[in-house]
Amino acid sequence: MKTVLVCGAGGFIGSHMVKRLKNEGFWVRGVDLKFPEFGKTQADDFIMGDLRDPYVCRQAVDRKFDEVYQFAADMGGAGFVFTGDNDAAIMHNSGLVNLNMLDACHKRNVKRIFYSSSACIYPEHNQLDPDNPNCEESSAYPANPDSDYGWEKLFSERLYMAYHRNYGMEVRIARYHNIFGIEGTWRGGREKAPAAMCRKIALAKDGGEIEIWGDGKQTRSFLYVDECLEGTIRLTRSGWTGPVNIGSDEMVTINQLADMAMEAAGKKLTKHHIDGPLGVRGRNSDNRLIHDKLGWRPTRPLREGMAKTYHWIEEEVKKAKLI
C-alpha cells in the first residue's frame, strides 16, 4: 500500500487532503499541533506534535513515504498576517517547520514532497492596480512581498528548490491564492475573507448591515478547496518542478464577494466600510503556466463555492447558538 505523510493535517487544507488521499486508498499519517476542528481525522495514524522540533520531524518521517504534503504553517487571514503583530512568530515558526521537515525527509530519502507556498510572495508594486494585477510566476523577482508571511514563503520556496538542485528531491511548489470552503476557520481572528463575510452575514438580520474592511474595491480571487486538492495532487504527481499558481482567475471585488454571500443567504444588507488590515490592492491567479504544464486549471464558479460555504457556516453559527 502506498504511504503518504500530511503535515498540518489538523488544519483546513490538510484535513481535506487527508480525506481525499484516504478515498484514493493510501495509508495516511497526519501530523499537527491539533486535531481537525470540525470532525474526526480520517488519517490512519495521527501524530500530535510540534514540527519546529527536529526530533518530532524525524519521528513523523520514520519511513520513506511515497508522497509528503507540507501544509503546516503559522497562518491566518488578513487580521493575523497583515497587522505586523505576528511577524516574528510567523517567520520563526514556519521557517523552523520547513527547515526541519525538509531535512528529515532528505535523511529518509523521501523522493517527492509538496510545499504550499502563497500568492503573498508576489511583489507589492505589481498589485497596486485592482483591475490589472500581475501574478505571473516569473514576476516573483526582484522580490518585494507586502508581508513577512510572504517573505517566509519565498525563503522556504528557495529552500525546497535548493534541496531539489543539491539532493535531487522531487519538489513541487504551489502558490495558493485564497483557498476557502467548508470546515475552515470561521471565527477567532485567523479566518479569511470568505468565511468572515459568511459569518457576518449569517449573524445579521435581513435589512441590517455588515462591516467590511476598506472600501471593498480591492480585488481578489478565491478557490474552493476541492479544486485546490485536485490541482495539488496533479502537480505533485507531475514532472514540473518550478513554483506554480493554484488559484481561481475569476477576479472579484470584496464588495462582489459580499453580494454573493448575501445572495446565498437570501438577505439584503447595507455594507458599512471601516478601517482594517487589507493587504495588496489587487490580486488574481495567472493560470497560464498551470494550464501549460498540467493541461488543467480550476474552472468552477465562485458563486457555487460561496453558496456551499455560506450554508455550512450558517449551520455552525446556529450550533454555536450565536443566532
Q: One-letter amino acid identity for 17?
A: M
Q: How far is the CB of 116 from ligand NAD (least distance, A)?
A: 3
| CA distance linking residue 176 with residue 118, whole number of Å | 5
Set of cell numbers at residue 267: 438577505
Q: Which of 122, 149, 160, 310 is catalytic?
A: 149
Set of cell numbers at residue 228: 485546490
User: If binding is defined by CB under 6 A, does position 298 make contact with ligand NAD?
Assistant: no
Q: Which stretch binds ligand NAD (CB under 6 A): 8-16, 21-29, 197-205, 237-245?
A: 8-16
| CA distance linking residue 113 with residue 49, whole number of Å | 20
Residues that bind ligand NAD (rule: CB under 6 A) add up to a total of 26
User: If binding is defined by CB under 6 A, does position 181 make contact with ligand NAD?
Assistant: no
Residue (of 59, 42, 175, 165) closest to 114 by Cα position: 175
| CA distance linking residue 93 with residue 196, whole number of Å | 25
User: If binding is defined by CB under 6 A, does position 50 make contact with ligand NAD?
Assistant: yes
Q: How far is the CB of 234 from ligand NAD (least distance, A)?
A: 17
| CA distance linking residue 264 with residue 280, whole number of Å | 27
Residue of 73, 104, 121, 197 interacting with ligand NAD (CB under 6 A)? 73
- Kindly identify the residues of this chain, within the stretch 24-43, that bind ligand NAD according to CB under 6 A: 31-34
Beta-carbon count within 10 A of 194 CB: 29
Q: How far is the CB of 53 from ligand NAD (least distance, A)?
A: 8
Instruction: Give the list of residues 6+ apart from residue 15 with CB closer than 8 angstroms, or none.
Output: 9, 30, 36, 38, 39, 41, 183
What string marks each residue from 118 to 157 as x (binds ligand NAD by CB under 6 A) or -?
x---------------------------------------
Q: Are 104 and 54 in contact (CB under 8 A)?
A: yes
The residue sitting closest to ligand NAD, measured at its beta carbon, is 11
Residue of 6, 51, 105, 198 interacting with ligand NAD (CB under 6 A)? 51
User: If binding is defined by CB under 6 A, does position 116 make contact with ligand NAD?
Assistant: yes
Catalytic-residue membership of 310: no
> What three-state secondary structure class fits 309?
helix
User: If binding is defined by CB under 6 A, does position 176 make contact with ligand NAD?
Assistant: yes
| CA distance linking residue 164 with residue 51, whole number of Å | 21
- C-beta closer to ligand NAD: residue 97 or 244: 97
Set of cell numbers at residue 123: 511583489
Q: Which residues bind ligand NAD (CB under 6 A)?
A: 8, 10-14, 31-34, 50-52, 71-75, 93, 97, 116, 118, 176, 178-179, 192
